[in-house]
Structure 1
């Protein structure tokens, strides 16, 4: 079977998205055409097209006369993202409980057991990759292409917050317990319980993420005051 190579622009788009999601490029970092061209080894035209597409996803913000930057997620924006994510994730869990194959349910359990075996202090990218695998199985098995597409984009949008909350030693055991309830509801083929467990998981994640964002805002405000008083 012949494998058709992806267009260069698509490859750059995916690699740039991955670099932002995994915090290789941090919020607020300037993504100049020259720097990205050197990193990915492509022309500025290809870079600009990839940037335009990721701007539409909310991962990049283009500032007039300054260029593209990795987008920040404010507390207000995060609140909206988590509200929508809660509904989409609940739909995915419900659909998975109703329509996933026995093999897919076993695969979901296998990924969960890998996550459950981790301990506080585990590298946050390891944790994030496990969560991405978990959602990959769920989105495939829920058999709803619209939910899968929209939820995947939202998870990309707040991936850096997810990595931060997952690496919190106090949050990790809670995350594992919440996901265990999701998996057990799915294994019982209980769509209502899967819906409720998914919504509760997102609700708890939102509380942690918003606490982090609000603390960051307070710290930045305090630093600004210190500079003003110097």
Structure 2
């Protein structure tokens, strides 16, 4: 995807750095990470050091350190002759990420069923209600992503597995970009709400077999939708 000064200016306008609350580097890192995850900076968009320095008002050293950290997180990649750009998954990378998600999320569902108390199940239901409300009100992509983030936060907390959280955390940023690609397809948000609600009801019944099957089915549909969208986008 092509980038322009207006896009970069708008995306960075929300980054405010101070000298007291948190180290300067951390403020810039958090600001750029949020701009990417909230799609203010688009997949494939160039991150030009000079422009970042001018717009944010920090040193070249700080910008380079932040870009290195974002590269380590998988949100930025360095492309020959282009420099740093926001990560845009290829079809093959997307397939692998969906496969990782399928295995880990199905395991998280099983651990949630084994370990989570009743109030965690109700909290999970509430996140689906929130997703449904966002979709019914025609909420934007960012609102829907935040609602689905809360679903996964509750699921992982109830699964009580630091191992699953750690491994998923390493790919979570890239997974979020894929999630947006899938959810952006016509009709997909309503399907997602239906799929997740069915999954939660199986979880509430402590039916691990059905819940695992529904989790796998949800991710199969997400993968099919997301990969189709990537294939149709000539910029990825």
> Do these two structures clear the TM 0.5 threshold for a shared fold by scoring above it?
yes
Q: 2:88 aligns with which of 72, 79, 95?
A: 72
Distance 1:94 1:216, change over 3 A: same
Q: 1:142 aligns with which of 159, 176, 181?
A: 159
Find the aligned partners of 1:9 and 1:99 in 2 and give their Cα distance.
Answer: 39
Look up the match of 2:130: 114
Give the alignment's TM-score, normalised by structure 1.
Answer: 0.84
Give the alignment's TM-score, normalised by structure 2.
Answer: 0.82
Contact 1:94 1:191 in 2 (8 A): yes
Look up the match of 2:174: 157
1:168 aligns to what SS in structure 2?
coil
2:215 aligns to what SS in structure 1?
helix
Shift of 1:206: 0.2
Shift of 1:13: 2.3
Look up the match of 1:225: none
* RMSD value, Cα: 2.3
Q: 1:166 aligns with which of 183, 187, 208?
A: 183
Distance 1:48 1:154, change over 3 A: same
Shift of 1:201: 1.0
Contact 1:123 1:167 in 2 (8 A): no
* Unmatched tracts of structure 1, length 5 or more: 222-230
Is 1:88–2:109 an aligned residue pair? no
Find the aligned partners of 1:154 and 1:88 in 2 and give their Cα distance.
Answer: 11
Equivalent pairs, count: 216
Contact 2:74 2:173 in 1 (8 A): no
Distance 1:153 1:66, change over 3 A: same
1:86 aligns to what SS in structure 2?
helix
Contact 1:121 1:169 in 2 (8 A): no
* Unmatched tracts of structure 2, length 5 or more: 1-19
